[in-house]
Amino acid sequence: MEQQTDEWVGLQATIASRLPYVRWLQARDKLRSAEIDYLRETLPVLAELVWQPWYPVLERAKQEIWANASTTGFSETFRSEEVLYWLHIPGWIAAWAETEKPSRTLDIGAGYGTLAVFVSALTGSTVHCLDFESDRIARSTADRYALRMATSNIEQTDVPWTDLMDAVVMTEVLEHFNFHPVPTMRKIAGSLRPGGRLFLSTPDAESWGKVEGSYATYQDLPLPDPLRAIEDRHVYQFNETELRDVLKDSGFRLLRLERSPGRWGLHFNVEATPD
């Protein structure tokens, strides 16, 4: 009887040791089910994209960048997939610009310039492009669309233009922040006029997972240091609760949050305004 009891205790221990794995499987399956739902919802958006009145402007912007990008990285890496990161944002910009008629837009981490050219061509707004690698945008493109260029890191310096902006576009940048995001996001909120807009995209950590070897929470990130060397990589990826908290603590009121399909995982698309 004692041997049977010991065997039973051993079986219980074996089963108990597997419970975390079973829970992980359940959580993974739930997440995958949610991702499938998001992707299913995205299909009509993709199908209807070409019928949107602003789509030809986006297509011309893409063609401009493809033809003139000053490095090969765009055509090799981003050409076929960048719109999947910020699928909802061009339509949000177009809908907002119909009534607001923006005259000044700040594109933080402008990259190769697709959305900068799109905003310039669609709205007539003067687009100020801020990136620590501003040579990614071809000089000919910057001249043609009157893009104002500055090389700087938004985490370590002030916005180099003093006039308040009507809109800030910041796609696929937040995850690269080396420092606690709230001080920089407050700076961005302060660069916007009352009623202005922030259009932001960033990976969804629930889909992508946390960055390996990174911080346990974004609260552990150091405060901005203008003298510290910067790592250009994904430093911290946010889940929805964290992203909402960062926006709220930075003085933004969230207006819309959707997900785009991305390439390897889902991305948040955000529209917010200074609170």
What is the per-residue pLDDT across 162-185, written as a single tens digit (0 to 9) for each? 999 999 999 999 999 999 999 999
**CB contact at 8 A, 260 and 267:** yes
Say yes or no to pLDDT of 131 above 90. Answer: yes
In 175-239, which ranges are continuous DSSP H helix?
181-190, 205-208
pLDDT of residue 119: 98
Q: Using 50, 70 and 90 to split pLDDT, how confident is the model at 264?
A: confident
Rg over alpha carbons for the chain, rounded to the nearest Å, is 22
pLDDT over threshold 90, residue 94? yes
DSSP 77: I
The band of 1, judged by pLDDT with boundaries at 50, 70 and 90, is very low
Which pLDDT value is given to residue 161? Answer: 97
What pLDDT was estimated at residue 47? 79
pLDDT, tens digit, 9 for 90 and up, residues 7-52: 555 545 654 565 565 565 566 666 667 777 777 777 777 778 889 9
Arithmetic mean of pLDDT over the chain:
88
State the Cα–Cα distance between residues 187 and 189, nearest whole angstrom. Answer: 5
For strands 104-108 and 165-171, give the pairing: parallel
Nearest to 173 by CA among 110, 123, 224: 110
List the one residue out of 104, 167, 109 whose CA is nearest residue 136: 109
Average pLDDT for 235-243:
97
- Domain edges within the chain: 1-49, 53-274
The residues, any chain, with a CB within 8 Å of residue 123's CB and separated by 6 or more, are: 93, 97, 101, 102, 105
Q: What is the mean pLDDT of residues 257-262?
A: 92
CB atoms within 10 A of CB 5: 9
Separation of alpha carbons 195 and 216, rounded Å: 34
Helical spans, DSSP H, in the chain: 2-49, 55-68, 73, 82-85, 89-100, 114-123, 139-144, 181-190, 205-208, 240-249
pTM listed for this prediction: 0.86
Q: Which fold has domain 53-274?
A: Rossmann fold (3.40.50)
Q: Which secondary structure element, helix H or strand E, spans residue 54, and what is its range?
A: none
> What tokens appear for 214 in the block?
């990174």
Report how far residue 50's alpha carbon sits from residue 62's, in angstroms, rounded to the nearest whole number: 14
Q: What is the mean pLDDT of residues 87-115?
A: 96
> What is the model's pLDDT at position 75?
56
Q: Output 76 or 46, whichever has higher pLDDT.
A: 46
- Phi, psi dihedrals of residue 76, rounded to the nearest 5°: -80, -30
